[in-house]
Amino acid sequence: MDYNFHWRPVFKALPDLLQAALLTLEVAAISMILGVLIGLGLSLIRIHMKGPVMWLASIWVELARNTPALLQLFFFGFGLGAFGIHFSPYLIVLMGLTFNNAGYLAENFRGGFGAVPDTQIRAARSLGMTAFQTYTRIVIPQVLRIVYYPMTNQMVWAVLMSSLGMLVGFRELSGETQFFASRTFRIFEYFAVTAVIYYIIVKIILGASRLLAMRLFRY
Amino acid sequence: MQPTETFFSGFAPHDLWFLGEAALRTLWLSLLAISIGSMIGVVFGWLLSVSRIGGGFVLSPLLDIFRSVPLIIQLVLFYNFAPIIGLRLDAFDAGLIVLIVYTSANVAYVARGGIEAVSQPMRRAARSLGMTYWQDMRYVVWPIGLRAVFPAWVGVALGVMKDSALVSVLGYVELLKASQILITRTQETILILAIAGAFYFALSYPISLYAAHLEDRWNQ
Confidence (pLDDT) at B75: 95
Residue among A37, A50, A207 at smallest CA distance from A109: A37
Q: How far apart are CA A10 and CA B123, in angstroms?
A: 53
Q: How far apart are CA B121 and CA B124, in angstroms?
A: 5
Chain segment A166-198, per-residue pLDDT in tens: 999 899 999 999 999 888 888 899 999 999 999
Confidence (pLDDT) at A219: 61
Comparing alpha-carbon positions, the chain B residue that sits nearest to A162 is B70
Left if phi > 0, otherwise alpha if psi is -120 to 50, otherwise beta: which for B132? beta
Q: Is residue A41 part of a domain?
A: yes
Q: Is residue A2 part of a domain?
A: no
ipTM above 0.85, yes or no: yes
Chain segment A132-169, per-residue pLDDT in tens: 999 889 998 898 889 999 999 999 999 999 999 999 98
Q: Is residue A3 part of a domain?
A: no
Confidence (pLDDT) at B32: 96
- Ranges of residues in chain B with a pLDDT under 70 are 1-7
Cβ contact, residue pair A195, B189, below 8 Å: no
Give the three-class secondary structure for A95: helix
Distance from CA of A71 to the nearest CA of B (A): 7
Task: List the domain range (segments joined by +) for residue A31.
Answer: 8-216
Q: Is residue A1 part of a domain?
A: no
Q: Is residue A39 part of a domain?
A: yes
CA A2 vs CA A182, B77, B87, B90, B177: distances in Å: 21, 18, 13, 21, 33
Residues in chain B: 220
Distance from CA of B209 to the nearest CA of A (A): 10
Closest residue to A3, CB basis, from B84, B158, B166:
B84
Q: Is residue A134 part of a domain?
A: yes
Confidence (pLDDT) at B137: 94
Confidence (pLDDT) at A1: 63
Q: Is residue A18 part of a domain?
A: yes
Mutation site for B-interface testing, chosen from A59, A65, A66 by largest number of B Cβ within 10 Å: A66
Chain segment B100-136, per-residue pLDDT in tens: 999 999 999 999 999 999 999 999 999 999 999 999 9
Q: Is residue A100 part of a domain?
A: yes
User: Predicted confidence band at A212 (pLDDT cuts at 50, 70, 90)?
Assistant: very high
Cβ contact, residue pair B68, A202, below 8 Å: yes
Q: How far apart are CA B155 and CA B101, in angstroms?
A: 17
Which domains does chain B possess? 21-219 (1.10.3720.10)
Chain segment A10-65, per-residue pLDDT in tens: 888 899 999 999 999 999 999 999 999 999 999 999 988 889 999 999 999 999 99
Domain count, chain A: 1
Distance from CA of B165 to the nearest CA of A (A): 7
Chain segment A97-128, per-residue pLDDT in tens: 999 999 999 999 998 998 899 899 999 999 99
Q: Write the CATH number for A195.
A: 1.10.3720.10
